[in-house]
């Protein structure tokens, strides 16, 4: 009797584990529309999503809230986009990993300009931004497994604020703008820094370290929880401001590169998948910080 009961329990546990491993995301755009450098994404006030490297590297696509993809802009020669962040209702910034730039794009005119060029940058990867326009740029050196973080002022001046790090990748500002989070893909660390109003960082401390899998983009919800894309592992990890793993969201593709919040209530998450060349989507329990920022931007128009 005990043997039979044990077998039933094992079967039930196995079934539960298989359910937990099943993807909870949905395909949002057609596969292979984007290159293997599919990244971004960012959402405007109308709910349109923007992602880089559509059909070929050096482009940016606009995706309707229903998942229809169309060409939006081509970046300057020699530039390739990675992370995108909105700094106002009509302006977004692009980490240009081949041009050593942070680019600035106008939503209305579709003009792209160089906001800051810094030859000392390795490979600008992802961006985080405050409400007052202070930009932080992760800057990995993949060959050396090292990295750094740059601060770009609202006037477009760059300064190094976190040297001597691992392969810096995902980066985000907390909702109260008192903390900057930075992850290291190879080392699997997520660090927290105290963030001063002028962009100065201090009090570096380890928030969480993962035992396996990679990491890429990160975004906060309005409660301060971090949504971390686990590149190669096929999931999004949700981590509390105290460093506790709250839940994991399995994805269809494995190479999850970045994430953004949008939708009518800010609870729709859009993720880019480099192995599928498309975007997937899922629902979060809490609205995103960047969605709340966009609401503030539109009220100020």
Distances 251 to 190, 216, 229 between C-alpha atoms, Å: 21, 14, 10
Task: Report the chain's mean pLDDT, rounded to a whole number.
Answer: 93
The full set of domain ranges for the chain reads: 26-300
Torsion sign across C-alpha atoms 202, 142, 121, 177: negative
Digitized pLDDT (tens) for each residue of the chain, 301 residues in all = 445 544 444 444 444 443 445 668 999 999 999 999 999 999 999 999 999 999 999 999 999 999 999 999 999 999 999 999 999 999 999 999 999 999 999 999 999 999 999 999 999 999 999 999 999 999 999 999 999 999 999 999 999 999 999 999 999 999 999 999 999 999 999 999 999 999 999 999 999 999 999 999 999 999 999 999 999 999 999 999 999 999 999 999 999 999 999 999 999 999 999 999 999 999 999 999 999 999 988 887 6
pLDDT at 24: 86
26-300: CATH topology: Neuraminidase (2.120.10)
Residue carrying the six token digits 């293997």: 36
pLDDT at 123: 94
- Does residue 163 contact residue 204 with C-beta atoms inside 8 Å? no
**What pTM, to 2 d.p., does this model score?**
0.91
**Using CB atoms within 10 A of its CB, is residue 60 exposed (0-12), middle (13-18) or buried (19+)?**
buried
pLDDT at 20: 47
* Residue 154: partners with Cβ closer than 8 Å, 6 or more residues away: 132, 133, 134
For 215-256, write each residue's pLDDT tens digit: 999 999 999 999 999 999 999 999 999 999 999 999 999 999
Give SS3 for 69. strand
């Amino acid at each position: 009797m005990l043997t039979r009961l044990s077998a039933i329990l094992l079967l039930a546990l196995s079934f539960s584990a298989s359910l937990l491993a099943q993807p909870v995301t949905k395909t949002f755009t057609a596969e292979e529309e984007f290159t293997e450098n599919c990244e971004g994404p960012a959402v405007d006030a109308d709910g349109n999503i923007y992602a880089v490297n559509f059909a070929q590297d050096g482009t940016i696509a606009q995706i309707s809230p229903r998942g229809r993809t169309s060409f939006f802009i081509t970046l300057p020669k020699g530039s390739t986009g990675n992370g995108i962040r909105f700094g106002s209702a009509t302006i977004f910034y692009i980490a240009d990993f081949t041009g050593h730039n942070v680019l600035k794009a106008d939503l209305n005119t579709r003009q792209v300009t160089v906001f800051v060029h810094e030859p000392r940058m390795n490979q600008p990867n992802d961006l985080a931004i405050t409400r007052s326009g202070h930009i932080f740029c992760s800057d990995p050196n993949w060959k050396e497994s090292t990295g750094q973080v740059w601060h770009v002022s609202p006037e477009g001046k760059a300064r190094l604020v976190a040297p001597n790090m691992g392969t810096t990748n995902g980066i985000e500002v907390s909702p109260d703008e008192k903390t900057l989070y930075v992850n290291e893909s190879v080392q699997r660390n997520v660090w927290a820094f105290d963030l001063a109003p002028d962009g100065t960082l201090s009090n570096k401390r380890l928030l969480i370290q993962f035992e396996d899998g990679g990491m890429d983009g990160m975004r906060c919800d309005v409660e301060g929880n971090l949504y971390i894309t686990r590149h190669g592992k096929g999931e999004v990890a949700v981590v509390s401001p105290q460093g506790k793993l709250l839940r994991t969201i399995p994805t269809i593709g494995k190479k999850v590169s970045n994430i953004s919040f949008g939708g009518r209530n800010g609870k729709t998450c859009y993720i880019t998948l480099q192995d599928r060349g498309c975007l997937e989507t899922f629902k979060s329990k809490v609205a995103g910080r960047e969605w709340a920022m966009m609401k503030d931007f539109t009220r100020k128009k």
